[in-house]
Chain A
Amino acid sequence: MARLQQIDHIFRKDVISLLLQQIINGFMIGCVYALTAMGGTLIYGILRILDIANAAAYVVGAYLGWVIYATTGNLAVAFFLSMALTGAIGVLIQKFIYMPILNKPNIIPIVPLITSVGIFIFTGDFIRLLVGPEIKDFGVVLPFSVINLGKIVINPEWILIIIMTVILLSLLWFVLNKTKLGLAWRATAGDSEIAETMGVNIQKVMALSYVMGYGFASAAGMMIGVLYSSIYPTMGDIPSYKMLAIIVLGGLGNPIGTIAAGLVIGLSETLISAYVGSVIPRDAIAFLVLITILLVKPTGLISRKNSI
């Protein structure tokens, strides 16, 4: 009892409470950003292309999760299945769209980039035609409700998002560091030609990038759907370019950098919104942070040594 009173006393300091509230909020947003951008990082690491279609995975994941949740009523199943399906779609896209393009001789980098943009635009509008442009209610009922720690209010969705992000990123760390395929990925990201001559199966490595990358993006999309209880076809628009800021800030192809960048941007957006107000559009903050940090450290937050 006394312990709780002690804790309550600390939190009663209004300014600190408010700050902590904003930090938790920003951290949660940062987690989503990190997951959204991770696919782009993994794919850039191997293919050296910026895959905007990762944002399509984000939208598809949200809608698949919505449908699966509506039919099964089980959020865990919805997450897992949606990630698996979206990851599988990613492998198909990689095999039947990107590989044929990248295998052509003398391809200029803008071609796969435009292809990815095309896939993204197509996906958004396809969903609009299939399901309708209206905002659809996600309708999740979480087993726990708002947690009040003194003056700090933590939404149940925030906890879900943070826990899931930790689980997914731990899984990523495990795969990249403790498995043979992960070793192959890191080798290929370091130098793909030498990796290939050493017998690394590039196909499998690429498939891994897409399965994990698109899987994470789809989880992020679903998390946002649950967080705001709404999904709509253009929900991937902002993430599609914001994730570029995050990938570049994170050092282009560096997973740890991506996590750091996602958190930095999530926190910056939240704290600036709360304390500075609406002087600059919220979505511009990501790019302002990017520019500021690149001016100081041109290689991004964490230099691309693939330190995981």
Chain B
Amino acid sequence: MKKRFKTWLLISLVVILGISMFGCSQPAETPAAEEPSSEPAAPAESSEPIRIGFFAPVTGAAASDGKSATQSAELAVKLINDGGGINGRPVELVKYDDGLDTKQAVNIAQKLTTKDNVVAVVSGSYSGPTRVAAPIFQEAGMPMLSAYAIHPDVTGSGDFVFSQSFSGAVQGRAGGVVAVDMLGAKRISILAVDIDFGKTLSEAFTAYVEANGAEIVSVDTFGMPESEFSPVLTKIKETVKPDLLYIACYPSHGTEIARQSKRLGLDVQILGTEGIDSYQFLEVAKEDAEGVIITTNMNRDSESDAVKDYIAGYKAAYNMLPDMVGASTYDAFETLFKVIAEVGTEPVAMRDAIKELKDFETVTGKLIEYAPSRVAVKPVQIQIVKDGEFHYYNEITDDAIIRD
């Protein structure tokens, strides 16, 4: 009897192990037909679905960005399919949740490059997960577009990896231009979240500022879950006394910084980044957000139909406003759709077509081209919060700034 129990225990352990290895992070749609060979160039008359992989942090600390990215991805796919697909072929989204976990991201990348039968991938996630997944796509020769992960290691993984958003270096520099050239600040304090995003922006910002006659008088970093900014803001108000506060952080931090600054009577201009480009920031900070300026890629006042349609379409579908994360994700899909329509789904052809793309109007502005580093070159939008909404303040098109 004991032996039989041991056997059953062993079998159940194997089953559990098997389920946990393959059962976790199931793709939303299972493959319809397993094709053992790699994807051939799609003939125009075929109606085989075009499968595109996608991952975003749907659960975990970045869940709201994951939701924003996923919703935009789904909207993009729905709209292209409503219009008849690409050359008659419907698009199928193979989406995953990486939980903002690098191990999960690796898992997902391995699945997408082996059994999921996708022709390309969009990353709707942060730099952490994206830059561990990128080398896997590179090795598999599968084009991957990163929607908004801006760490240089992402595109540094190789020539199949592209970034839709300008790099942290570009955005940090642009922030410097706003701070020093547009706003005339001389003494600047930095508050940055201590992950890739905050570090990359903070470094580039500092470099520009210090090279252009202004001074960084304090730098304070904080962890992702931080919400108590009174101590550091009090210190800044009493002992540092800057004339501008540069915040490289996310909405949960930005709201509290904006609110607490006002409460403490710290009356300085706040300059943020695309990190706080979100309705969450506006909703919670309310009047305290007025006058906050950010560097981002989404111009709410754009005259472009593409932008207006996207904002309206997103609002109609989800009853909420889109943000930078969603817009960047949508942008990535737009790029992929265009490229696939022109050259089909052969990986090398797609890669080359993306590389050669020029002056493509997207919901995040004009994609001028991809730099040799495969990072998109586009104007940096400067938006200001006025009457509770983001509005056009300025834009930076200067090559010296927007090209790495």
Q: Which residues of chain A have a CB within 8 Å of any CB of chain B? A: 14, 17-18, 21-22, 25-26, 29, 125, 128, 132-135, 137, 146, 151, 153, 155, 224, 228-230, 232-234, 237-238, 269-271, 273-275, 277-278, 281-283
Contacts and interface: CB of A to CB of B under 8 A. Distances in A.
B59 A25 contact: no
Nearest to B60: A234
A25 B238 CA distance: 15
B63 interface: yes
Interface string B208-248: 00000000000011110111101110110011000000000
B263 A137 contact: no
Contact of A281 (B223, B231, B263): B223
B283 A22 contact: no
A134 B326 CA distance: 13
B16 interface: no
B81 interface: no
A228 B235 contact: no
Interface of B: 58-61, 63-64, 66-67, 194, 220-223, 225-228, 230-232, 234-235, 238-239, 251-252, 255-256, 259, 263-265, 279-280, 283-284, 286, 320
Given A137-B283, A229-B284, A270 B228 contact: yes
B231 A132 contact: no
A153 B61 CA distance: 31
Given A133-B63, A135-B255, A238-B225, A270 B231 contact: yes
Contact of A278 (B194, B252, B259, B264): B194
B67 A274 contact: no
B221 to A, nearest CB: 4
Nearest to B288: A229
A232 B255 CA distance: 13
A228 B251 CA distance: 12
A22 B239 CA distance: 14
13 contacts: A18-B235, A25-B231, A133-B66, A135-B64, A135-B255, A155-B230, A228-B227, A228-B256, A230-B227, A234-B61, A270-B231, A278-B222, A281-B194
A153 B237 CA distance: 12
Nearest to B219: A278
A165 B86 CA distance: 61
A18 B60 CA distance: 36
B230 A135 contact: no
B59 A128 contact: yes
A219 B105 CA distance: 37
Contacts of A233: 63
A250 to B, nearest CB: 21
Contact of B255 (A22, A132, A229, A278): A229
A282 B264 contact: no
Contact of A230 (B60, B234, B252): B252
Given A237-B61, A278-B222, A282-B222, 4 more contacts: A128-B59, A228-B256, A238-B225, A281-B223
A282 B220 CA distance: 12
Nearest to B282: A137
User: Which 8 pairs show the lowest CB-CB distances between chains A and B?
Assistant: A133-B63, A274-B231, A273-B231, A134-B64, A278-B221, A135-B280, A133-B64, A137-B284
A137 B285 CA distance: 9
Contacts of A273: 228, 231-232
Nearest to A18: B238
B264 A153 contact: yes
Contacts of B320: 134
A267 to B, nearest CB: 11
A199 B128 CA distance: 58
B150 to A, nearest CB: 22
B223 A283 contact: yes
A29 B194 CA distance: 22
A228 B288 CA distance: 13
A51 B225 CA distance: 22
B220 A278 contact: yes
Contact of B63 (A22, A128, A155): A128
B230 A25 contact: yes
Most buried by B among A21, A25, A26: A21
Contacts of B265: 153
Contacts of A128: 59, 63
A274 B234 contact: yes
A41 B286 CA distance: 38
A274 B233 CA distance: 9
Contacts of B255: 135, 228-230
A135 B225 contact: no
A278 B218 CA distance: 11
Contact of A134 (B221, B239, B280): B280
Nearest to A271: B231
A224 B230 CA distance: 14
Nearest to B281: A135
Given A134-B67, A135-B252, A14 B238 contact: yes
A28 B264 CA distance: 16
Given A133-B67, A229-B255, A29 B60 contact: no
Contacts of B284: 135, 137, 229-230
Nearest to B230: A25
Contacts of B251: 135
A282 B66 contact: no
B63 A234 contact: yes
Contacts of B194: 278, 281
Nearest to B68: A134
Q: Most chain-A Cβ atoms within 10 A of its Cβ — which of B225, B230, B252, B286? A: B230
Contacts of B67: 132-134
Contacts of B231: 22, 25-26, 270-271, 273-274
B360 to A, nearest CB: 30
Given A133-B64, A137-B284, A21 B234 contact: yes
Nearest to A153: B264
